[in-house]
A and B are shown apart, each in its own frame.
Chain A
Amino acid sequence: MSEAQVPQHDGERAAGWTQTRGERWLSRALARVTGSVLGPYQTAVVRIGFGTAWLFFLLREWPHRRRLYGPDSTWSFELGERLLDSNHAFSVLMWSSSQFWFELVYHLAILASVALLLGWRTRMSSVFFMVGVLSLQNRSIFMGDGGDNVIHLMAIYLVFTRCARVWSLDARRARRCADGGPSFGATGPVLWAVCGAVLLGGTFTGGFSLGWGLLFWGLWLAQGAWWLLTRTAATTGNTEGRDLMDVVANVLHNGALLVIMVEVCLIYATAGWYKIQGSRWQDGTAVYYPMHLDYFSPWPELSEVLAGNGLMIMVVTYGTVLMQVAFPFTLLNRRAKNVLLALMIVEHLGIAVLLGLPFFSLAMIAADIVFLPTALLVWTGARTDALRRRLTRRRPDAEAPRHLPRPRSADAPAPDPAQAADADRARR
């Protein structure tokens, strides 16, 4: 790779001007993807969004959990086994047909989503979250819908993001430790050992396929190595290993963030482009029909009133196609993107109520918000913080955000100088 050879100081350049500019661009791009966590607020809010969506879903379905995913579900354990034997989908629920194991997994999935949304030991809880989502959904794949599908994909992608840099318990612990160096409390190693024992058990009972086994063991070893190298850095001053881990984690994070963003674009692009081919979307009546399906009309009177206006149905029908097709392209223009994003979130709120799909809508909104502008997120965060402080009557400076990654200058207001200095320190 050439960046290892690219000199960092422009004065040392001897080659032609165009090449210099290209190389300078490349080296700056590489410095960004290796040296920083892009979109820390966006990934944090996506983490919170999906954690919340899945948590609400699990709580709402709690009374129905056995019928959906239990060993005696209408999609029986035996049916699930036969399907999974043929498609090799991952589900720890297939490890045992006992009621106890099912209850344990379901309730651990609830705990994992709470941990994820709070950002508690996120490197671990994001993996448990993914295991919970995949295990339950794959156990009874025919119970799910589009909302489950989005959560399924994002649960996998989130494992690879550093989604707890802000607005998380992990970030708070890091802030508290920052002044006195990294903390080597016992919680981390204990959790790591417990995870290792669980992995060992799963591996010896043949619970993992080769691919999943490698992934889980790889993640586990990486955590151990990280802890060790951070400790080495703190005790011996040799930061090389820790810095390398940091760079690799940044690269993984930025790659996963790109995948999340493109995934959202693919969702809207396919949804829009297939609609264009449909006669009902062309004649402007499409939106009328779902509102008259028994499975998607919790409020028939409301649907009746809204569907009674032909002009409005046409506007919403055309508007939906227009927005979905246009969305990926509006990313080229910040203002257009933000307007469209707001409209799509409003449309999803409408779908939540009108079509009775609150969890689908929540999941889609959680995906949409990866594109929210940093300035808005920071502002909302500050408001929430202020509100929480007022509610808990803490001293105003007790929880003041420090060491936050700096928002991207293009969409952020002039940063507070004190915070910017902190941000620089946080970047090392």
Chain B
Amino acid sequence: MEPQVHEPAHEPGAPVGAAALPLRTRIVAALAVGAVAVGASVHLGMVFLHVAPDNSLSKKHDAAIDAYVYPEFEQNWKLFAPNPLQQNIHVHARAVVAHDDGGNETTGWVDLTAVDGEAIRGNPAPSHTQQNELRRAWEFFGNYHDDDGQPIGMRGELSQEYLKRIVMHRFGPELNGGTVERIQVRSAVTPVAAPGWSEERIDTETQYSTQPWWQIASSDLPGGAGR
């Protein structure tokens, strides 16, 4: 019944694909169809449960879904959703620098986000170093620190070291003629004003949240910083 031809015919209606193969190979082809069908279904099912809101199914199989999706199929498509960010979050930093004469000096706050914003303005293709580095590092830091500024788990520690290195990359090891010994960061959150055409009024006063001082070690200095 199965066609025994090695060179399939070209007439319309002639078997194509697996149907044109000898039985032995058709069985292998059938297995391939089955495997790919199962693989694609499992993959799409896992990704669906990963991107969907928590539901009865995904709560039950939490561990299996995470094990499948992380790290390579992780995804998040809540783009500007449920609500877009409605506040400008700026990261400020200052330092205590040690002078050669033994004196110390605390610098003023430097608005690092404003420097990024300056670089982005008028730039048709902003670099990830301008648009993502500090912005996402601060997000990362916030997600893995409690309200008292204490790191949560290993990622909390990583995020703090990362932030230190970003600040030190921008400050450089020397500032105001002295060596940077400690740094402090704070966030300055300013809500975006309501649109002029809307009735709504939004308080646009800036709220600050200051982190403790952090000691700077040589490992916090990215190579090339200030050089």
Do A and B actually bind?
Answer: yes
A105, CB-defined interface residue at 8 Å:
no
Stretch of A195-203, A276-284, A381-389, A407-415 contacting B (4+ beta carbons < 8 Å):
A276-284
- Type the 1/0 row for A264-295, where 1 means its CB is closer than 8 Å to any CB of B: 00111011001101111100011111101111
Query: With A75-B162, A308-B196, A310-B198 known to touch, is A259 a contact of B43 (CB < 8 Å)?
Result: yes
With a cutoff of 8 Å between Cβ atoms, the chain B residues found around residue A73 in the complex are 222
With a cutoff of 8 Å between Cβ atoms, the chain A residues found around residue B27 in the complex are 1, 4
A428, CB-defined interface residue at 8 Å:
yes
B129, CB-defined interface residue at 8 Å:
yes
Contact partner of B192 (CB less than 8 A), chosen from A88, A266, A292, is A292
Stretch of A178-186, A243-251, A370-378 contacting B (4+ beta carbons < 8 Å):
A243-251
Contact A149 B76 (CB under 8 A): yes
With a cutoff of 8 Å between Cβ atoms, the chain A residues found around residue B29 in the complex are 34, 244, 247-248, 251
Query: With A74-B169, A266-B51 known to touch, is A68 a contact of B80 (CB < 8 Å)?
Result: no
A353, CB-defined interface residue at 8 Å:
yes
With a cutoff of 8 Å between Cβ atoms, the chain B residues found around residue A274 in the complex are 53, 77-78, 81-82
With a cutoff of 8 Å between Cβ atoms, the chain B residues found around residue A5 in the complex are 1
Query: With A237-B6, A308-B196 known to touch, is A298 a contact of B122 (CB < 8 Å)?
Result: yes
- Type the 1/0 row for A4-27, where 1 means its CB is closer than 8 Å to any CB of B: 111110000000000000000001
- Type the 1/0 row for B51-68, where 1 means its CB is closer than 8 Å to any CB of A: 111000000000000000
Contact partner of A271 (CB less than 8 A), chosen from B37, B77, B117, is B77
A82, CB-defined interface residue at 8 Å:
yes
Docked pose: A275 CA to B35 CA in angstroms? 36
Contact partner of B88 (CB less than 8 A), chosen from A4, A143, A294, A307, is A294
Docked pose: A197 CA to B22 CA in angstroms? 36
- The count of chain B contact residues (Cβ–Cβ below 8 Å) is 97
Stretch of A40-48, A59-67, A169-177, A333-341 contacting B (4+ beta carbons < 8 Å):
A59-67
Contact A255 B36 (CB under 8 A): yes
Query: With A142-B136, A274-B78 known to touch, is A259 a contact of B40 (CB < 8 Å)?
Result: yes
Contact A281 B78 (CB under 8 A): no
Stretch of B8-16, B101-109, B171-179, B208-216 contacting A (4+ beta carbons < 8 Å):
B8-16
Contact B8 A144 (CB under 8 A): no
CB-nearest residue of chain B relative to A67? B129
Residues A138-153 near B (CB distance < 8 A)? 138, 142-146, 149, 152-153
With a cutoff of 8 Å between Cβ atoms, the chain B residues found around residue A285 in the complex are 195, 198
Contact partner of A64 (CB less than 8 A), chosen from B39, B48, B52, B127, is B127
Docked pose: A280 CA to B136 CA in angstroms? 23
With a cutoff of 8 Å between Cβ atoms, the chain B residues found around residue A79 in the complex are 158, 161-162, 165
- Type the 1/0 row for B19-54, where 1 means its CB is closer than 8 Å to any CB of A: 111111111111111101101100110011001110
A30, CB-defined interface residue at 8 Å:
yes
Interface size class of A (residues with CB under 8 A): 35 or more
B154, CB-defined interface residue at 8 Å:
yes
Docked pose: A427 CA to B10 CA in angstroms? 9
With a cutoff of 8 Å between Cβ atoms, the chain A residues found around residue B136 in the complex are 142-145
- B227 smallest CB distance to A (angstroms): 11
A227, CB-defined interface residue at 8 Å:
no
Contact A32 B17 (CB under 8 A): yes
- A5 smallest CB distance to B (angstroms): 8
CB-nearest residue of chain A relative to B33? A251
A323, CB-defined interface residue at 8 Å:
no
Contact B16 A3 (CB under 8 A): no
Contact partner of B71 (CB less than 8 A), chosen from A1, A89, A143, A280, is A89
With a cutoff of 8 Å between Cβ atoms, the chain A residues found around residue B223 in the complex are 72
With a cutoff of 8 Å between Cβ atoms, the chain B residues found around residue A294 in the complex are 88, 90, 113-114, 116-117, 120
Contact partner of A240 (CB less than 8 A), chosen from B10, B17, B25, B165, is B25
With a cutoff of 8 Å between Cβ atoms, the chain A residues found around residue B82 in the complex are 274-275, 277-279, 281
A344, CB-defined interface residue at 8 Å:
no
CB-nearest residue of chain B relative to A308? B196
- B225 smallest CB distance to A (angstroms): 9
A194, CB-defined interface residue at 8 Å:
no
Contact partner of A356 (CB less than 8 A), chosen from B31, B79, B124, is B124
Contact A266 B169 (CB under 8 A): no
A234, CB-defined interface residue at 8 Å:
no
Query: With A259-B43, A353-B124 known to touch, is A153 a contact of B75 (CB < 8 Å)?
Result: yes
Query: With A72-B222, A290-B80 known to touch, is A356 a contact of B126 (CB < 8 Å)?
Result: yes
- Type the 1/0 row for A231-267, where 1 means its CB is closer than 8 Å to any CB of B: 0000001111101100110111011101100110011
Contact B83 A281 (CB under 8 A): yes
Contact partner of B128 (CB less than 8 A), chosen from A64, A152, A270, is A64
With a cutoff of 8 Å between Cβ atoms, the chain A residues found around residue B196 in the complex are 308
With a cutoff of 8 Å between Cβ atoms, the chain A residues found around residue B75 in the complex are 149, 153, 267
- Type the 1/0 row for A71-97, where 1 means its CB is closer than 8 Å to any CB of B: 011111011001100111110000000
Query: With A27-B19, A67-B169, A255-B40 known to touch, is A295 a contact of B158 (CB < 8 Å)?
Result: no
- A3 smallest CB distance to B (angstroms): 6
A207, CB-defined interface residue at 8 Å:
no
Chain A CB within 10 A, most for which of B16, B43, B127: B16
Contact A262 B44 (CB under 8 A): yes
Chain B CB within 10 A, most for which of A33, A138, A255: A255
A359, CB-defined interface residue at 8 Å:
yes
Contact A239 B7 (CB under 8 A): yes
Given contact pairs A8-B19, A60-B125, A61-B127, enumerate 17 new A-B contacts (beta carbons under 8 Å): A4-B23, A5-B1, A36-B17, A61-B128, A79-B158, A79-B161, A144-B128, A275-B80, A286-B80, A289-B192, A292-B193, A294-B117, A295-B117, A295-B135, A298-B122, A310-B197, A356-B124
The residues of B with any CB-CB pair to A shorter than 8 Å are 1-3, 6-8, 10, 13, 15-34, 36-37, 39-40, 43-44, 47-48, 51-53, 70-86, 88, 90, 113-114, 116-117, 120-129, 131-133, 135-137, 140, 154-155, 158, 161-162, 165-166, 169, 192-193, 195-198, 219, 222-224
